[in-house]
């Protein structure tokens, strides 16, 4: 698996660039799904360009830490992605992130990269009704972390525009 990562990354870079251009024209500079929690927020856990390029590595690294070492208050969590990026349908129910046109599916379908995460992982945010207590920031967002990118929505627009120019 690991040996193909380099090739995948390179391919991802090419296709990602193309997709970025497409997405920009289609959604006027926004990478997030309309109506999701992320659409109302300024920043993800890292800059959008970084997330586009490296999200698979972040998740792969942190899954090892959380499953084998029990470190669950990590910055990059898959459930964090889902909590923020899932959008709701007309009835107010969450749509799976793997449904057509939704956050994960939109890119992964375009790039023909199979996303296997959700064969096992939950595809919609879970309403917290159980007695489950999870320490730290549930969303895995760097809300009060010193490293948090303090960029406003406008600044992100500018950043997107700059990436497109480059």
Kindly list the residues in this chain that would bind other proteins in the complex (CB under 8 A).
63-72, 79, 119-122, 126, 130-136
Q: CB of 53: closest distance to other proteins in angstroms? A: 22
Give 28 or 129: the residue with its C-beta nearer to other proteins: 129
CB of 46 to other proteins, least distance (A): 21
Smallest distance from the beta carbon of 64 to other proteins, in angstroms?
8
Helices (H) and strands (E) in the chain, counts: 5, 0
Contact 62, 157 (CB under 8 A): no
Whole-angstrom Cα distance, residue 73 to residue 134?
8
As a whole number of angstroms, the distance between CA 94 and CA 41 comes to 18
| Least distance in angstroms from the C-beta of 50 to other proteins | 23
Measure CA of the first residue to CA of the last residue in the chain; give whole Å: 31
Measured from the CB atom, the residue of 65 and 161 that comes closer to other proteins is: 65
Give DSSP secondary structure letters for 77-115. Answer: -HHHHHHHH--B-TTSPBPPTTSTTSHHHHHHHHHT---
Give the nearer residue to other proteins in terms of CB position, either 8 or 64.
64
Which CB, 102 or 156, lies closer to other proteins?
Answer: 102
């Amino acid at each position: 698996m690991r040996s193909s990562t380099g090739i995948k990354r390179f391919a991802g870079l090419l296709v990602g660039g193309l997709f970025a251009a497409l997405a920009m024209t289609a959604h006027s500079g926004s990478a997030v799904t309309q109506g999701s929690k992320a659409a109302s927020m300024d920043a993800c856990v890292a800059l959008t360009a970084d997330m586009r390029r490296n999200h698979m590595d972040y998740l792969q690294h942190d899954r090892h830490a959380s499953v084998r070492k029990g470190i669950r208050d990590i910055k990059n969590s898959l459930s964090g992605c889902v909590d923020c990026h899932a959008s709701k349908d007309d009835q107010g129910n969450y749509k799976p992130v793997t449904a057509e046109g939704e956050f994960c599916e939109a890119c992964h379908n375009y790039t023909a990269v199979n996303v296997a995460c959700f064969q096992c992982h939950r595809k919609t945010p879970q309403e917290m009704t159980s007695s489950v207590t999870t320490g730290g920031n549930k969303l895995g967002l760097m809300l009060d972390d010193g490293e948090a990118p303090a960029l406003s929505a406008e600044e992100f627009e500018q950043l997107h525009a700059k990436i497109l120019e480059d």
